């Protein structure tokens, strides 16, 4: 392919992607698509994952976007989806970008509402996944005790303001 066909920035599923990345890494830039899923998507779309994304054609991009929109239709296994057994529908689905952020937020709000242990930990800004909390995760809380300093006059007696 000639230099004129190379594109430095592409748009895949509403995400700007650098043309210098390999196809497998470029597709993984889309929020909600992992590296394993991106390789499966490229295989189903018939695109070489080792080629630079700046060289692929518009038809290849449309094939990739079609597979990303409905991966079950192309035979990608459901264990690769990011939304297994959805609480609303009970089906396996794959959610992308803003919809993914919305689903995660509603899941956390539901856990808080039903007062599950996980929801309690989210509500009080504590670690949720069983991490250690004795020594880590202290940002935003009181870190130590501030000591009062006694200011002394040059003669040795403390100043009136400090106790």
Name the residue with higher pLDDT: 155 or 39: 39
Q: Does the pLDDT value for residue 22 go beyond 60?
A: yes
Same domain, residue pair 47 and 112: no
Q: What's the domain count of the chain? A: 2
Neighbouring residues of 162: CB distance < 8 A, sequence distance ≥ 6: 148, 149, 150, 151
Which residue has better confidence, 153 or 78?
78
Which residues are CB-contacts of 64 (< 8 A; sequence separation ≥ 6)? Answer: 12, 27, 41, 42, 45, 47
Cα separation, 142 vs 137, in Å, equals 12
Q: Is 105 found in the same domain as 42? A: no
CB atoms within 10 A of CB 61: 18
Whether the per-residue pLDDT at 148 is higher than 80: the answer is no
Domain span at residue 54 reads: 3-80
The pTM for the full model equals 0.71
**67 belongs to a structural domain:** yes
Same domain for 56 and 12: yes
Q: Is residue 89 part of a domain?
A: no
- Tell me which of 7-16, 91-100, 143-152 is least confident: 143-152
Q: Give pLDDT, residue 162.
A: 54
Q: What are 98-130's pLDDT values in tens digits?
A: 889 999 999 999 999 999 999 999 999 889 999
pLDDT tens figures, 39-97: 999 999 999 999 999 999 999 999 999 999 999 999 999 999 988 888 888 888 899 98
Q: What is the pLDDT of residue 109?
A: 95
Looking at residue 90, what is its pLDDT?
Answer: 87
Q: Tell me, what's the pLDDT at 138?
A: 76
In a domain, 148, yes or no: no
- What CATH number is given to the structural domain containing 62? 1.10.8.50
Is residue 141 situated within a structural domain? Answer: no
40 and 69 both lie in a single domain: yes
Residues 58 and 106 in one domain: no
pLDDT of amino acid 20? 94
Taking the C-alpha atoms of residue 48 and residue 34, their distance in angstroms, rounded to an integer, is: 17
H or E segment and range at residue 9: strand 9-12
Residue 27 lies in a domain: yes
Q: Are 109 and 64 found together in one domain?
A: no
Q: Are residues 68 and 101 in the same domain?
A: no
């Amino acid at each position: 392919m000639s230099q004129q066909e190379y594109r430095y920035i592409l748009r895949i599923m509403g995400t700007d992607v650098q043309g210098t990345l390999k196809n497998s890494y470029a597709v993984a830039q889309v929020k909600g698509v992992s590296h394993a899923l991106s390789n499966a998507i490229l295989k189903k779309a018939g695109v070489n994952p080792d080629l630079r994304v700046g060289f692929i054609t518009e038809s290849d991009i449309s094939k990739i976007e079609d597979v990303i929109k409905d991966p079950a239709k192309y035979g990608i296994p459901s264990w690769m989806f990011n939304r297994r057994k959805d609480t609303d529908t009970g089906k396996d689905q794959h959610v992308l970008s803003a919809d993914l952020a919305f689903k995660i937020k509603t899941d956390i709000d539901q856990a808080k509402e039903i007062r599950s242990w996980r929801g309690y930990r989210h509500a009080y800004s504590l670690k949720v996944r069983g991490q250690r909390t004795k020594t880590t995760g202290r940002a935003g809380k009181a870190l130590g005790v501030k000591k009062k300093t006694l200011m002394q006059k040059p003669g040795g007696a403390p100043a009136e303001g400090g106790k």
